[in-house]
Each structure stands twice: as C-alpha cells, then as structure tokens.
Amino acid sequence: MSVVTIRVPDAAELPMLITKSRRAIEQEAVALKEAVEEYANSPQPGCLFKTDGNAWKQGHHRHRAGRRRLALLGQQQARLMLANALDHLVTMGRALGSDGALSLYSHTTLSRVVCEGVVRLAWLLDATVSYEERIARSAAALLESSESRLQGANAIPADWFGQQPRQVLIERSQTARDKVIRIIDSAGLARVLNRPGTKTASIDVPGTATKIAIKLEIGLLMAKLLPDSPTWYTISSGPAHSVTWTLISAIVTDQSNPNLVLTPDLLEIGSAAETVISASALAIKSYALFYGHDPEPRVTRSQQRRDVLDKLMLGYLHGRKFV
C-alpha cells in the first residue's frame, strides 16, 4: 500500500483546488490573527467587554467577586480556544502542499479542531445572551474541564508509575475542581446535580430561567453556528475515529486490484478548507461584537475566499466522472 503522505514530483504541479485552498487558509489565518488583535486592543465604548467588566458591581455584594472572576475566566477560556483553533488552522495550511506533500486525512481532523474551538468560543462570548448567562456558560465550561481532568487522573492504573505519584495527580485535580466549585458558589450560581446525585448536571442562575448543561452538545452547536457546513462535525469525526466510510474516498483502485493505492480526495480538501474559513469568520464576528466593532468588512473577505473555492469545487464536480 502507498504511504499516507503524497509527495508531488518536482516537475509536477498540485491541482489548482489544492493550491487555492492552501492560499485561502493562509490568508484567513493572517486575517483572523489581525482581526482579534485589533478588536481586543481597542474595545469600543459600551461594548460587551466593558459592560461585562462592570456588571459584577450591580449584584449582591456576596456574589460580586465570584461573578467578576467568572466573567474574566470566560474571556480567558475563549482566548485559549482561539489560540488552539488558530494553531490548527495554520497547521492545516502547511499540510496542503506547502512543501510539495499532501496529507491523506489529517487536514479533515485539523479542520474539526478549528471548528470545535471556534464554536466553543462563540458560545462563551455570545452577544445575544445576558451577562448572567455568559458567566453561567463560563462556569459550566470550567466545571466540565475540571471534571474531565479529575476523571482522567482517577483512571490512571495504580501500578503504572506508583501509587504516590498517582495520588498526587488526583489530589491536584481534585483541588482544581474544588476551586472552580468555590468560584461558582461564590458567584451565587446553583449547581444542579444529576439524578444519581453524583455530579453536576447544569449551572442555573437563581431567579431566572437560565439553565446551562455541563455537557455541551458540540454537534448541534456546529450545525447551528456553521450552517454552511451542517454535517461537517459528523464527517470530520471519521478520520479521527478511523471510520471506514470516511476513509474509502482516498482509494483510487477498484476492488479487483490487490494493491491499496491511496490519494487525497480533492473535494474533501476543498470542503475542509471552506469550513475552516467559515469558522474563522465566526471567530472574527464573535470578537468584533464582543469588543464593539463592525465585523462585516472582514467577514465579507472571508466569504469571498470561500466563494472562490466554491467555484473551483463546482468545476471539479462537473468535470469528474462518477462510477
């Protein structure tokens, strides 16, 4: 069988869909970095960043410090998610032939990380919800993260590297989770337990209808926030989990050939590139609205990059023979 990275001979040229996809991703990564830096460095009067920064003063004095902390931690989480998404976006561009080599599947997995990071940060910075809901979302995300860390520590076999180091990890994870719980409680938010009473199921804002589930349904969120690629979360999970139906598109030989010859699927590369461009535009819009800027000029340029790839993909489809 062939190797999983396809290297193009020096005399050959990569298909235009590949070179245009790579260039669009490279441009988008630069645009995203420039946009969020500009917005975050110049918050406008009356923007959510400023109003959230003062909203804690209006609450009960016992809850003010906790609410201020949750607002800041929500913004910190969004920045970390952005950094992760941008890192994978840049790496995806490099995987599309910058050195004459193409990945078979990893561009799809990279795109999934970009999209998931962006929809999470968009959910945390959502300009359409109240301040109370944003801090409740921050609390839910923090608690889910700390619970996952503790679960991972508890799952380490005792004989792997000794009981004492394992116990240290568990205690540190427990301490981190307890700290999150103290912040949530100090903010006056309610932790609602699941039916067995073993773990927190949701974060509620007392006196309101706001109820935030700890487990975020990423697939549904991606379908809602990235409507131009409604099924990409499912498709992109295929290479991550080695699901056969998503892997066979790279096969270029028929079943009678004993050799498994693989090559990247151009349409999947184009789809992955289009989707991360849409994700980048969502991140740009989320940051712009949170810091009081107009996202349309940059979002329009993102859409123009996607439109170019759309035309190339349609041309490829019309010229391809399907068996």
Give the β-pairing of 5-7 and 200-204.
unpaired
User: Which tokens hold the place of 128?
Assistant: 């359409």
Residues 204, 190 contacting (CB under 8 angstroms): yes
Residues 43, 297 contacting (CB under 8 angstroms): no
Q: What is the pLDDT of residue 254?
A: 65
| 149 pLDDT more than 70 | yes
Number of domains the chain is built from: 1
The domain of 31 spans 5-319
Return the half-sphere exposure (C-beta side, CA atoms, 13 A cut-off) of residue 218: 16
- Lowest pLDDT segment from 12-21, 128-137, 293-302: 12-21
Tell me the C-alpha distance between 312 and 18, whole Å. 10
Residue 13's region, left for phi above 0, alpha for psi from -120 to 50, else beta, is beta
Give percent above pLDDT 70 in the chain.
Answer: 93
Residues 24, 305 contacting (CB under 8 angstroms): yes
Q: In 148-186, which positions are buried (b, 16+ CB within 10 angstroms) versus exposed (e)?
A: ebbeebeeeeeeeeeeeebeebeeebeebbeebbebbeb
What tens digit of pLDDT does each residue of 27-74 get? 999 999 999 999 999 999 999 999 999 988 887 788 999 999 999 999
3-class DSSP state for residue 266? helix
- Residue carrying structure tokens 């991972």: 152
Tell me the C-alpha distance between 102 and 205, whole Å. 49
| 318 pLDDT more than 50 | yes
Tell me the C-alpha distance between 211 and 201, whole Å. 10
pTM, two decimal places: 0.90
